[in-house]
Amino acid sequence: MQTYLRLLRYLKPYWGRLIAAALCSAAVAGLTGAYAWLVRPALDEIFINKNTTWLMLLPIALMAVSVLKGMASYGQTYLMVYVGTRVVTDIRQQLFGHLMRLPVGFHLKNPSSRMMSRVINDVNWIQSAVSGVLKDLFQQSLTFVVLLGVLIYQNWLLTLFSIVVVPLSVYPMMRFGKRLRLIATTGQERTADMSLALQETLTGIRIVKGFTRESAEDRRFTRFNEAYFRTWMKSTQISAITSPVLEAVGIIGMAGIIWYGGSQVINGTMTPGTFFSFLTAVFLMYTPIKRVASANNTIQQAVSAAERVFMVLDVPTEAEIDTGVRELQGVRDGIELRRVTFQYDGTEAVALHDISLSVRAGEVLALVGSSGAGKTSLVNLIPRFYDPTGGAILIDGVDLRDIRLSALRQKIGIVSQETLLFDDTVRNNIAYGRDQATAEAVADAATAAFAHELSCVFRMGTRRSSARTASSSRGANGSVSPLPARSCAIPRF
Ligand SMILES: Nc1ncnc2c1ncn2[C@@H]1O[C@H](COP(=O)(O)OP(=O)(O)OP(=O)(O)O)[C@@H](O)[C@H]1O
Ligand SMILES: [Mg+2]
């Protein structure tokens, strides 16, 4: 319930559109009722009483109702989906921004694939629910009420009689819905398995090839792929059985109505027009009942997806837990580690034990040690990816924890062991974190890193204009031997 209210809070900025959509929904519901109602004069006045005025009026009324209903339906669908999708876009953006600002420790504990599924899958669940529910639940329940009004108006006794059928048809819907929901969850897990296998294989493609594990990976993927197939077929089985069952239930109700209503028509207590108007309303009620019953499932799914999303959003960001307020202009004297001890969360052994050292400004320090000695761990403490569990690190005598986190990081340059390129131009990758960098500076950096000769990459860049700037200022100075044309010919998607 709390999750639900929290989800509703995202609707607040769009209340104007929501009200407009609600008005459209009301119009759709009312006009659907008008269809059912119009059946009575159609039969009684035109076919039985042979009334020519109605013969003129009715087709016009029918067309008018249809046009109005079409416009209202367009308005409500567009507006409701607009609001729903807008809400989800906001949530997704918030989630992305939040994830980025969470501490490194969080990401270490939560694999990226799971977080990707949060941003993509869970948010999509919310999207289909919010849009669908806004559109369906509201409008269909309204339609249901209007049609019920038509039924009661036409013949309340027959209404009572036919209402008995409703729980009869809602029950199987609920039951099947529950099973479907369970299967949908399994389906999501299967999809996650598949994408994980895919991601691992593609990112580790050299390892896979180097160890000739292609067939083994093939078999692993087959397992996931086939499991997904079975889940999908199970869900098809259930959804395929749902409509025949519902149809059977519907026919039972219909048979009852025909028997009871028909006998009233024969007795003369009810006109054929009333009877058929009634029957039309019952027919039209089918969709609202179905939608409202299944909306329940969608809501359940969305709420659990929203819970998972909110769980992530509730983890405090680095900035939120940061207590530092001091600014940092640069290093004057140096960096000092004072009896630093560090232990990773949830591990027994300490990674760094009682380390003291100082580095003067301008000095170059190399850390040498066997694998696992703690070099990376030590370096990670400087930009405060982690904080020491004991001791302190000081810049010019100021504890790092007293400096505002972003001020500290803005003064730190990092060249990591693993290379990571963003899907962007070579220029932008080089200038990452320094948006103001001139083409000259970028070219200098490229030259310093012996990267300016990657003319092939420059040419393959998706955004050629910036690549050209970089290569024209520095590259292509004669000494560059372009890579063979063939390596450029690999398709890039
Ligand atoms: N994320 C982590 N969680 C728990 N323990 C870790 C984590 N990262 C490293 N360790 C442990 O901390 C110790 C120091 O590891 P660290 O990665 O700092 O060593 P390193 O000197 O950088 O090694 P390498 O030369 O292999 O890069 C090791 O015992 C390692 O097992
Ligand atoms: Mg290391």
User: Does the beta carbon of 371 lie inside 6 Å of ligand 1?
Assistant: yes
Whether 367 has a pLDDT exceeding 50, the answer reads yes
- The Å distance, Cα 418 to ligand 1 centre, comes to 15
Check residues 289 and 101 and name the one with the higher pLDDT: 101
User: Could you say which ligand is closest to the alpha carbon of residue 374?
Assistant: 1
The domains found in the chain, sorted by start residue, are: 2-317 (1.20.1560.10), 322-410 (3.40.50.300), 426-488 (no CATH)
The arithmetic mean of pLDDT across residues 183-201, rounded, is 82
User: Could you say which ligand is closest to the alpha carbon of residue 372?
Assistant: 1
Secondary structure class of 220 (helix, strand, coil): helix
Q: Kindly report which listed range (11-15, 164-168, 249-253, 454-458) carries the lowest average pLDDT score.
A: 454-458
- The Å distance, Cα 374 to ligand 2 centre, comes to 7
The arithmetic mean of pLDDT across residues 138-143, rounded, is 87
- The Å distance, Cα 371 to ligand 1 centre, comes to 8
Alpha-carbon separation of residue 261 from 161, 425, 441, 443 (angstroms): 10, 74, 87, 87
Q: Read off the pLDDT of residues 444-462 as tens digits, 9 standing for 90 and up.
A: 888 888 777 654 444 444 4
Q: What is the dihedral of CA 423, 429, 434, 439, to 10 degrees?
A: -120
According to the model, what pLDDT value does residue 493 have? 60
User: Does the beta carbon of 353 lie inside 6 Å of ligand 1?
Assistant: no
Distance of CA 362 to the CA centre of its chain: 48
Whether 472 has a pLDDT exceeding 70, the answer reads no
Q: Kindly report which listed range (157-171, 299-313, 462-476) carries the lowest average pLDDT score.
A: 462-476
According to the model, what pLDDT value does residue 486 have? 45
According to the model, what pLDDT value does residue 385 have? 92
- The Å distance, Cα 375 to ligand 1 centre, comes to 8
Mutate to test the pocket of ligand 1, among 376, 378, 381 (most ligand atoms within 8 A of CB): 376
The Cβ of residue 88 has, within 10 Å, a number of other Cβ atoms equal to 20
- The Å distance, Cα 68 to ligand 1 centre, comes to 68
Global pTM value:
0.72
Q: Read off the pLDDT of residues 219-241 as tens digits, 9 standing for 90 and up.
A: 999 999 999 999 989 988 887 88
According to the model, what pLDDT value does residue 456 have? 43
* Percent of the chain scoring above 70 in pLDDT: 91
According to the model, what pLDDT value does residue 469 have? 38
Distance of CA 439 to the CA centre of its chain: 38
The arithmetic mean of pLDDT across residues 87-108, rounded, is 92
Dihedral sign (CA 252, 256, 261, 267) = positive
Mutate to test the pocket of ligand 1, among 104, 108, 377 (most ligand atoms within 8 A of CB): 377
Q: Read off the pLDDT of residues 246-274 as tens digits, 9 standing for 90 and up.
A: 788 878 888 888 888 899 899 988 899 98
According to the model, what pLDDT value does residue 440 have? 85
Nearest to 14 by CA among 89, 68, 74: 89
| Rounded-to-integer distance, Cα 17 and Cα 89, Å | 16
Q: Which atom of ligand 1 is nearest to the CA of 377?
A: 18
- The Å distance, Cα 250 to ligand 1 centre, comes to 66
Q: Which two structure tokens, joined as six digits, stand for 236?
A: 């098809």
- The Å distance, Cα 159 to ligand 2 centre, comes to 76
Q: Which atom of ligand 1 is nearest to the CA of 346?
A: 4
Q: Which two structure tokens, joined as six digits, stand for 321?
A: 């837990």
Q: Read off the pLDDT of residues 393-443 as tens digits, 9 standing for 90 and up.
A: 999 999 999 999 989 998 888 887 777 777 777 788 888 877 778 888 888
| Most confidently predicted of 41-45, 172-176, 188-192 | 41-45
User: Does the beta carbon of 374 lie inside 6 Å of ligand 1?
Assistant: yes
According to the model, what pLDDT value does residue 459 have? 43
Nearest CA to ligand 1 atom 6: 344
According to the model, what pLDDT value does residue 483 have? 43
User: Does the beta carbon of 163 lie inside 6 Å of ligand 1?
Assistant: no
Nearest CA to ligand 1 atom 11: 351
User: Does the beta carbon of 375 lie inside 6 Å of ligand 1?
Assistant: yes
